[in-house]
Amino acid sequence: MDFLRPTTLDEALAVKAQRPDAVPIAGGTDVMVELNFDHRRPGALLDLTRIGELAEWSSSDGQISLGAGVSYTRLIGELGDVLPGLAMAARTVGSPQIRNRGTVGGNLGAASPAGDTHPVLLATGARVELASVRGRRTLAAEDFYTGVKRNALEPDELITAVHLPIATGGEQFAKIGTRNAMVIAVCSFAIVLRDGHAGAAIGSAAPTPRRVAEAERFLLDELPWDAPAPLADSFKRRFAELVAAAATPIDDVRGSAAYRTHALGVLARRTLTWAWDTYRGSARACA
Amino acid sequence: MTSTPDVPPAPPQSDPGAAEITTAFTVNGTPRTVGADTRVTLLDALRDRLGLTGTKKGCDQGACGACTVHVDGRRVLACLMLAAQCDGREVTTIEGLSREGRPHPMQDAFVRHDGFQCGYCTPGQIMSAVALLREGRAGTDEDIREFMSGNLCRCAAYPNVVAAIKDVAREGGDHAHL
Ligand SMILES: Cc1cc2nc3c(=O)[nH]c(=O)nc-3n(C[C@H](O)[C@H](O)[C@H](O)COP(=O)(O)OP(=O)(O)OC[C@H]3O[C@@H](n4cnc5c(N)ncnc54)[C@H](O)[C@@H]3O)c2cc1C
Ligand code: FES
Ligand code: FES
């Protein structure tokens, strides 16, 4: 196995074009498990950890551009107040040691249906930036996930950044697991409410992380945006039903399909309450 | 495009191919050089090449924390890093914590509070605990438990581990010592 360690993005893209078989390694928290257990024998590894450009973030026009190689620990510490939903998801990833190395770029690269950042990226309307020697393109997150552990990356492309709006309303992420740390989600849910936008997405409950379009439309049409009042239980239950109806979970060692569907409804109800409370608070603060 | 680096040609499909790489890094303050297959993890390099067997292998998949070391001052899992990724970096292992023959205060505290039984998880627990203090996460028992959650203990010494960490935090951490 060749070990390739470029120090600039241009170099890395040139290498990837020449060696499309090279497997990128960022934090290595997914790749190394596959190597150690011989699930994968790549001809080459492309180490991204020496590329400064991938480990930076910037902010402009109400958007954050988050480099694919920024660790979860830095994301939580440096961007927790402007990207609260993503930071909530990041706090639930693995352990402090995993979060010191693991990245959002790696979560996207692995594209596991259970990856914790995906529901937030979907609910907030994030865009994924990809680059190759042929140029750059950005994709809506929902167009990036193409199947179980499959994504829209071409063999010569790298993920360079994720673009997402700074939170102006309420954002929530919640996850069910067998304990509080180091667990892959049995199911997860994210919701983002801001003026003119209601996003909601499920994780670990379908072949890919996915938005729940009908539930989103219900919120956009029916929430009392102009006079934000507490929500009736019947309203929350209707939302929970729409979320649960969009799931197509499977039975596996982590949970049964029936349990996942039930739990998603509960997460949907709770996070709607919390996110709406935050939205109402920010609406009052602006008035 | 500026410079294109040397890219070795793809090896033939039938032979995934062993390739050697030389890694120069600092381990516990001493410069070391390791020549090894590119697939060798930092954990195996430490244990099998450098004879530093204090760092333990519990799972080899990031789940137990027994292999926790510091790389450039941050706690990471040595089983989830390649040795080659450590080129030019500073690695600290449990063997590197003592000063002038005296154990680190965290090591003392683990002994005082009986923070272990079999001791297999202990090097990882201590490396994590030292980092946790530096990260400022020793304020409450809840924080300590949450930020030690990547270190499993089959002997369930958890309450005593928390007590040891609290003790060191109360005494002002490791600064007096280091
Ligand atoms: C013990 C343990 C617990 C975990 N817990 C969780 C959890 O709670 N939640 C969760 O979501 N995940 C969890 N994970 C999985 C993993 O930590 C995350 O998916 C993490 O985000 C991966 O990031 P990384 O930088 O380490 O990726 P890597 O392992 O470096 O890469 C992952 C994949 O992405 C590709 N890749 C990485 N960067 C790029 C790039 N810039 N461009 C193109 N491709 C790229 C790689 O080739 C690889 O296929 C856990 C893993 C372990 C070992
Ligand atoms: S051996 Fe590295 S975490 Fe278990
Ligand atoms: S002391 Fe035995 S595993 Fe922790």
Same domain, B90 and B31: yes
Residue position matching structure tokens 């997860």: A188
Is position B4 within any domain? no
Provide the residue type at A267 as one letter.
L
What pLDDT, on the 0 to 100 scale, is given for residue A39? 94
From B96, B130, B147, the end of a domain falls on B96
Residue B76: which domain range?
20-96
Same domain, A201 and A122: no
Residue A34: which domain range?
2-165
Same domain, A25 and A144: yes
Q: How many domains does chain B have?
A: 2
Mutation for A interface: B82, B121, B148, most A CBs within 10 A? B82
Same domain, A197 and A101: no
Same domain, B30 and B81: yes
Yes or no, beta carbons of B60 and A36 under 8 Å apart:
yes
* Residue A144 scores a pLDDT above 90: yes
Same domain, A119 and A51: yes
Residue position matching structure tokens 């590119």: B38
Q: Which residues of B touch A (CB under 8 A)?
A: 1-5, 7-8, 10-11, 16-19, 21, 37-39, 41, 60-63, 65, 68, 74-77, 79-82, 84-85, 87, 128, 131-132, 135, 146-147, 149-151
Same domain, A129 and A191: no
What pLDDT, on the 0 to 100 scale, is given for residue A211? 97
Provide the residue type at A94 as one letter.
G
Q: How many residues does chain B have?
A: 178
The pTM score is 0.95
* Residue stretches of chain B with pLDDT short of 70: 1-17, 173-178
For A238, counting Cβ atoms within 10 Å of its Cβ (0-12 exposed, 13-18 middle, 19+ buried), the class is: middle
* pLDDT tens digits, one per residue of B113-139: 999 999 999 999 999 999 999 999 999
Q: How many domains does chain A have?
A: 2
What pLDDT, on the 0 to 100 scale, is given for residue A284? 78
Same domain, A279 and A199: yes
d(CA B66, CA B150): 9
What pLDDT, on the 0 to 100 scale, is given for residue B2? 44
From A133, A165, A197, the end of a domain falls on A165
Residue A249 has which token pair? 């979970």
DSSP code at position B49: I
> Which SS3 state, helix, strand or coil, does residue B117 take?
coil
The H-assigned helical ranges of chain A are 9-18, 31-36, 72-79, 84-91, 96-101, 104-110, 117-124, 141-144, 213-222, 233-246, 257-286
> Which SS3 state, helix, strand or coil, does residue A177 take?
coil
Pairing between β-strand B68-71 and β-strand A145-147 as defined by DSSP bridges: unpaired
What pLDDT, on the 0 to 100 scale, is given for residue B14? 47
Same domain, B121 and B141: yes
Is position B141 within any domain? yes
Same domain, A154 and A101: yes
* pLDDT tens digits, one per residue of A128-141: 999 999 999 999 99
Residue B66 has which token pair? 């027994």
